[in-house]
């Protein structure tokens, strides 16, 4: 279970960091950032919850 949790942590942490800090990391800024950041911010928890449910049903 810890390995699965660590994998989830690494994946979700990387995705959320890219969404929230991607422009700062890359050193660029764009006015249209909200057009892709907001939908992705909602998709990430959905995907994590779905992955967790599927993992539990297969175990």
Task: Give the tens place of pLDDT for each residue, 2-57.
Answer: 677 778 888 888 998 888 888 777 777 666 777 788 788 888 988 888 888 888 88
pLDDT of residue 38: 79
pTM: 0.63
Confidence of residue 1 (pLDDT cuts 50, 70, 90): low
Listed as own residue / partner, the contacts of 1-9 with beta carbons closer than 8 Å and 24 or more positions apart are 4/55, 8/48, 8/51, 8/52
């Amino acid at each position: 279970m810890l390995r699965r949790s660590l994998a989830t942590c690494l994946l979700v942490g990387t995705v959320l960091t890219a969404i929230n800090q991607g422009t700062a990391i890359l050193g660029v800024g764009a006015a249209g950032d909200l057009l892709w950041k907001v939908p992705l911010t909602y998709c990430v928890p959905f995907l994590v919850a779905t992955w967790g449910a599927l993992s539990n049903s297969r175990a």
